Every structure is written in structure tokens, then in C-alpha cells.
């Protein structure tokens, strides 16, 4: 399996960009003055989607959720280190059926969330471990 991951960011207008993946998917990115996602919102969405997909996959093997929502909150701060996010909190809202399978999934849900946080979610693991980011001009 290829371990390399990449996206390209293309300028499509004044203050308007699109992220493009290798499969041709496109996602509009902006400054936050319209419906487009800001880069910070994309980071939060990536954290929530990554762990959410992990937990949904593990939970759905036991019982199909009746509702499944992940919310990610953070504080944007500006200090001597520059702009960054702090206090990132991921909150799961999961409703499972009132069945034996639902009860079993409900009981295992905290372990699924912890497993994603501690091991599975590439995005939050990368943030927590503090991976270096390099920049270059070609």
C-alpha cells in the first residue's frame, strides 16, 4: 500500500482556493466570509472526521447508530509563538438502538473513542505528536 499522501491547493479566484486530491475530489477554501471552509475549519473537520470514521466503523460492526455526530471545538489564540489552536475538544453524540446489539455497542463506545484517540486517528495523532512542517519554493 502506498503510504504517501498529498493534496494540491489551487487558486481559483481572488481569495478563493480549492484543495484537490489525487482522485480528483475538490473542496473550496476561503477566508470565512462566505460558505467556504477556512483552513482552520478544515483542520477541525479533519480531526473530527478522522476519529469519527474510526469510531463509526467500530461501532457499526456491533449496531447501526440511529444518530452519529462529532463536534470539534477549539480556541484560536495569538501569542509569542504565533497563531494556533488550543484546547481542541472532540465531542461525540451517538444514539444507538434499544436492542441487545445497541447495548453492547454503547458499552464498548468509550473504548472505541479512546482507541481512535490513542492509536488510530492519523490526524489527531499527528497534531499531538507535534510533527514538523517544512516549506519550500520550487
Looking at the chain, the whole-number percentage of residues with pLDDT higher than 70 is 100
Mean pLDDT of the region 43-58: 98
Specify the 3-state DSSP secondary structure of 83: strand
**8 A C-beta contact, residue 68 and residue 58:** no
CATH 3.40.50.720 for domain 38-138: no
Q: According to CATH, where is 3.30.300.20 located in the chain?
A: 38-138
Mean pLDDT of the region 108-126: 97
Q: Give the helix, strand, coil percentages of the chain, each rounded to 5.
A: 35, 35, 30
By mean pLDDT, which of 35-39, 40-44, 65-69 is the weakest? 35-39
Grade residue 2 by pLDDT with cuts at 50, 70 and 90.
confident
Cell of 2: 502506498
Grade residue 33 by pLDDT with cuts at 50, 70 and 90.
confident
Helices 122-129, 39-60: crossing angle, 10 deg rounding: 130
- Torsion angles phi and psi, residue 67, rounded to 5: -150, 145
With 90 as the cut, is the pLDDT of residue 128 above it?
yes
* Burial grade of 59 (CB within 10 A; 0-12, 13-18, 19 or more): buried
Q: Please give the model's pTM, rounded to 2 decimal places.
A: 0.91
Handedness of CA 41, 117, 134, 5 (dihedral sign): negative
Cell of 96: 444507538
| pLDDT digit string, tens, across residues 53-85 | 999 999 999 999 999 999 999 999 999 999 999
Amino acid at each position: 500500500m502506498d503510504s504517501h499522501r498529498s493534496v494540491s491547493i489551487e487558486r481559483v479566484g481572488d481569495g478563493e482556493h480549492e484543495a484537490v486530491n489525487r482522485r480528483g475530489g475538490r473542496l473550496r477554501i476561503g477566508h470565512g466570509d462566505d460558505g467556504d471552509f477556512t483552513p482552520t475549519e478544515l483542520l477541525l473537520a479533519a480531526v473530527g472526521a478522522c476519529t469519527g470514521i474510526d469510531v463509526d466503523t467500530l461501532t457499526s460492526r456491533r449496531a447501526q447508530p440511529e444518530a452519529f455526530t462529532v463536534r470539534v471545538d477549539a480556541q484560536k489564540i495569538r501569542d509569542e509563538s504565533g497563531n494556533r489552536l488550543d484546547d481542541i475538544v472532540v465531542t461525540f453524540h451517538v444514539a444507538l438502538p434499544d436492542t441487545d446489539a445497541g447495548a453492547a455497542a454503547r458499552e464498548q463506545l468509550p473504548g472505541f473513542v479512546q482507541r481512535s484517540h490513542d492509536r488510530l486517528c492519523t490526524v489527531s495523532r499527528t497534531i499531538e505528536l507535534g510533527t514538523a512542517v517544512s516549506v519550500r519554493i520550487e
